[in-house]
């Protein structure tokens, strides 16, 4: 299939592009390169030629409707994957306008051009943030979605728009609610690299390498066994695989509709447990200090991913935290070399 991958030069997007090519699909990447990397695209495209696939990269912004129209005039697609959005929970609390504008306008633009081009398979990068501070744990998809941040609110709104598009325009769509994507493809060349970096695992590893000041642990007074936040870390290639399965499901589905799936490992680890795992993997201590809570962080987010197992046939291939961290560590060392 020919798949438009908006945000395909980013962390999860570039893993997706490599996965699509391995599976015999042709990706067309559309990315404004604000947080994506040209090197990641180059790595992700490697090996395409041998498979007779010609991937395409177009620089552009989903906020630019005209650029999207030109893209759709120049290419034909069977499906759209939408990774193009800011996704930092605490930044969204500080800059709500950036998140509402970017997520809502970007998604509406993309849906408008896709609808005009009669592309009815749409996969949206949603988030565990739609649940806010959940009342049920582990979280099932039918638990209340009551976001507590602009990022969560805007993302939930896009899910609602997708549902309405199914009714109005016959769209078939899936929202994958990622928990905490982590790790790197063991084939090498791809991994998590943000500037500035805000995510826990790369920050732990950077602190170990002495590339940053000691790790700041945001809050040790949460209602959790050790007082630090608990998250569900899911391997980035497993996240990408969920998209491939969703793509197959949508392609084989005749009726319109919207479905949301949790994509998580089903196991939760506190910040201190993540640090301990990194110490086991690297054989080195993590220099750290406790700091104030970070805005927008719920105490615990752990997925129930039964629905994705049953309906998509998805299951995490790398569910072990230490192994996930090992792939991130290998990537970080390869960049430093
Ligand atoms: N944390 C620290 N120190 C750091 C970085 C993070 O203590 O230097 C803590 C955070 O406070 C949080 C946990 O580690 O408790 C995980 O934080 P991340 O920044 O790695 O990830 P988030 O849970 O904030 O968010 C990620 C994605 C979101 C997604 C969410 C779903 O960035 O897009 O997972 O759970 F919505």
User: Which residue has a Cα nearest atom 10 of ligand 1?
Assistant: 218
Compute, in angstroms, the gap from residue 297 CA to the centroid of ligand 1: 7
For residue 288, what are the β-bridge partners? 215
Torsion of Cα atoms, 59 then 64 then 68 then 69, to 10°: -130
Atom of ligand 1 nearest to the CA of 127: 36
List of E strands, 179-287: 180-182, 215-218, 230-231, 233-235, 257-263, 269-270
Atom of ligand 1 nearest to the CA of 229: 15
- The residue to mutate among 126, 196, 198, 200, having the most atoms of ligand 1 within 8 angstroms of its beta carbon, is 200
Atom of ligand 1 nearest to the CA of 296: 24
Instruction: Choose, from 131, 151, 165, 235, the residue flagged as catalytic.
Output: 151
Angle among Cα 331, 218, 139 to the nearest 5 degrees reads 80
Q: Within 6 Å (CB) of ligand 1, which residues are found?
A: 87-89, 127-129, 179-180, 198-200, 203, 215-218, 229, 231, 271, 294, 297, 301
User: Which residue has a Cα nearest atom 21 of ligand 1?
Assistant: 199
User: Which residue has a Cα nearest atom 14 of ligand 1?
Assistant: 200
Question: Which backbone phi and psi does 287 adopt, to 5 degrees?
Answer: -70, 130
User: Which residue has a Cα nearest atom 4 of ligand 1?
Assistant: 200
The answer to whether the pTM exceeds 0.95 is: yes
Nearest C-alpha neighbor of 187 from the set 306, 15, 29 = 15
Compute, in angstroms, the gap from residue 38 CA to the centroid of ligand 1: 25
pLDDT per residue rounded down to tens, the chain (337 residues): 999 999 999 999 999 999 999 999 999 999 999 999 999 999 999 999 999 999 999 999 999 999 999 999 999 999 999 999 999 999 999 999 999 999 999 999 999 999 999 999 999 999 999 999 999 999 999 999 999 999 999 999 999 999 999 999 999 999 999 999 999 999 999 999 999 999 999 999 999 999 999 999 999 999 999 999 999 999 999 999 999 999 999 999 999 999 999 999 999 999 999 999 999 999 999 999 999 999 999 999 999 999 999 999 999 999 999 999 999 999 999 988 7
Atom of ligand 1 nearest to the CA of 294: 11
Cα–Cα dist 180/266, whole Å: 11
291 CB-near residues (< 8 Å, 6+ apart): 216, 217, 218, 219
Token readout for 247 is: 């793509």
The β-bridge relationship of strands 233-235 and 180-182 is parallel
């Amino acid at each position: 299939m020919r798949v438009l991958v908006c945000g395909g030069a980013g962390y999860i997007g570039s893993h997706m592009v490599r996965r699509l090519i391995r599976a015999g699909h042709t990706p067309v990447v559309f990315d404004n390169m604000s947080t994506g990397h040209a090197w990641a695209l180059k790595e992700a495209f490697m090996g395409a030629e041998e498979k007779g696939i010609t991937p395409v990269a177009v620089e552009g912004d989903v906020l630019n409707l005209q650029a999207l129209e030109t893209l759709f005039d120049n290419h034909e697609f069977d499906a759209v994957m939408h990774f193009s959005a800011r996704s930092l929970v605490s930044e969204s609390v500080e800059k709500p306008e950036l998140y509402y504008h970017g997520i809502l306008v970007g998604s509406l633009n993309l849906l408008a051009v896709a609808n005009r081009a009669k592309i009815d398979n749409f996969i949206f990068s949603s988030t565990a943030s739609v649940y806010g501070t959940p009342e049920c744990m582990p979280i099932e998809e039918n638990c209340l979605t009551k976001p507590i941040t602009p990022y969560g609110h805007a993302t939930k709104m896009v899910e609602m728009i997708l549902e309405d598009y199914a009714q109005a325009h016959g769209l078939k769509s899936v929202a994958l609610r990622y928990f905490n994507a982590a790790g790197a493809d063991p084939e090498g060349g791809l991994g998590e690299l943000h500037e500035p970096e805000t995510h826990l695992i790369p920050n732990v590893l950077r602190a170990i390498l002495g590339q940053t000041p000691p790790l700041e642990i945001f809050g040790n007074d949460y209602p959790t066994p050790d007082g630090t936040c608990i998250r569900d870390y899911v391997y980035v290639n497993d996240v990408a695989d969920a998209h491939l399965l969703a793509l197959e499901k949508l392609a084989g589905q005749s009726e319109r509709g919207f479905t949301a799936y949790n994509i998580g490992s089903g196991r939760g680890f506190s910040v201190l447990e993540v640090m301990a795992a990194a110490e086991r993997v690297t054989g080195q201590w993590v220099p750290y200090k406790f700091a104030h809570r970070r805005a927008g962080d719920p105490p615990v987010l752990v997925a129930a991913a039964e629905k994705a197992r049953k309906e998509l046939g998805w299951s995490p291939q790398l569910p072990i935290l230490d192994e996930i961290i090992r792939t991130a560590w290998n990537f970080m060392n390869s960049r430093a070399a």
